[in-house]
Amino acid sequence: MHWNKTMATKPDERKHAEAKSAEEIAAAYKSEPWWYDLRGFFILTFAYNSSLTRQIRLFGANLGTRHLEVACGTGTLLEMILRWRAWKGLPRVDIVGVDYAEAMLAGAMKRFRGQAGMRFLHADAAAMPFEGDAFDTVNIANAIHCLPQVNAALQEMHRVLKPGGTLAANVLLYPRGRWPWRSIAQRINDWGIRKGILVTPYEESDVRNRILKAGFEILREEVSGNCYELVVRKKTATSA
Ligand SMILES: C[S@@+](CC[C@H](N)C(=O)[O-])C[C@H]1O[C@@H](n2cnc3c(N)ncnc32)[C@H](O)[C@@H]1O
């Protein structure tokens, strides 16, 4: 096997991941919304090797009548998705957004102030204040790898979805591809982990196992750039 820096840093990243609390991660997300957005675009391009168009298509297609946006951030991506849906003539939906960082949540509240059907709450993805079977769809965009308690968060997303409801997610993988892109992505990830805005990238098989363990069935999965993209479903009584 070819040894590279990516492999060398994995155990340290995992140790680091275990050490972070939800409060520490939320504190790392205290930047001004405009700086967060600019930085996010850079990370999306060079660490995720993804694009806004790709994300809008993935997440924009998964908005049911009652929708939950977990780790919504400042709502920049969500706003783009809603514009895209309006342009496509897709129906308006009721949206609840949650995030654990007050600064991010404040950005989202300001962005959507006065818009009907939009509600934002402070909540930890691993312990959400909703009844079971409450939502038709859940999206978690660019955030699974930012959560300290991934399994608990996946179980929560499963709990609040109605049977047959769908979850769309993308997860940052350990950098792949050719030099210099792999090395650039690795450096950005190392910086993100030091700063506290990234907990850890994942192996595709690890995420897959966690998703299945939470009780979901996989409808669609694809690796694109350094991201693992999934659309999964909460089983119904007949599909269980
Ligand atoms: C990279 S940002 C993604 C934001 C947004 N979904 C987007 O795509 O622009 C990750 C988000 O996860 C949030 N977050 C981190 N830990 C969280 C937790 N335990 N519960 C809820 N949100 C959390 C952060 O505050 C941040 O807004």
Q: Is 60 helix (H, G, I), strand (E, B) or coil?
A: helix
Q: Which of 32, 43, 100, 151 to mutate to test the pocket of ligand 1 (most atoms within 8 A of CB)?
A: 100
67, 124, 142, best to mutate for ligand 1 pocket (most atoms within 8 Å of CB): 142
Contact between 170 and 141 (Cβ < 8 Å): yes
Point out which residues pair with 227 in neighbouring strands. Answer: 172, 224
Distance 240 CA to ligand 1 centre (A): 31
Closest residue (by CA) to atom 27 of ligand 1? 73
- 53 CB-contact burial (10 Å; exposed 0-12 / middle 13-18 / buried 19+): exposed
pLDDT given for residue 151 in this prediction: 98
Per-residue pLDDT of the chain (240 residues; tens, 9 = 90+): 333 333 334 444 444 444 578 888 788 877 787 888 889 999 999 999 999 999 999 999 999 999 999 999 999 999 999 999 999 999 999 999 999 999 999 999 999 999 999 999 999 999 999 999 999 999 999 999 999 999 999 999 999 999 999 999 999 999 998 899 999 999 999 999 999 999 999 999 999 999 999 999 999 999 999 999 999 999 998 877
Measuring from atom 25 of ligand 1, which residue has the nearest CA?
101
**Centroid of ligand 1 to alpha carbon of 145 (angstroms):** 9
Largest CA distance in the chain: 56
pLDDT at 19: 55
Beta strands in 45-93 (DSSP E): 66-70
Ligand 1 atom at minimum distance from 37 CA: 9
SS3 sequence, 163-223? EEEEEEEEEEECCCCCCCHHHHHHHHHHHHHHHCCCCCCECHHHHHHHHHHCCEEEEEEEE
Ligand 1 atom nearest residue 126's Cα: 19
Q: Ligand 1 centroid to 99 CA: how many Å?
A: 6
Burial of 89 by CB count in 10 Å (0-12 exposed, 13-18 middle, 19+ buried)? exposed
Mutate to test the pocket of ligand 1, among 48, 70, 99, 155 (most ligand atoms within 8 A of CB): 99
Report pTM: 0.91
pLDDT for res 35: 83
Give the pLDDT score at 25: 78
Out of 2.160.20.10, 3.40.50.150, 1.10.1370.30, 3.40.50.1820, the CATH code matching 5-234 is: 3.40.50.150
Of 107, 137, 136, residue with least CA distance to 122: 107
Q: Residue 107 in 3-state DSSP? A: helix
Locate the domains of the chain by residue range.
Answer: 5-234
Q: What is the pLDDT of residues 175-187, one digit of tens each?
A: 998 899 999 999 9
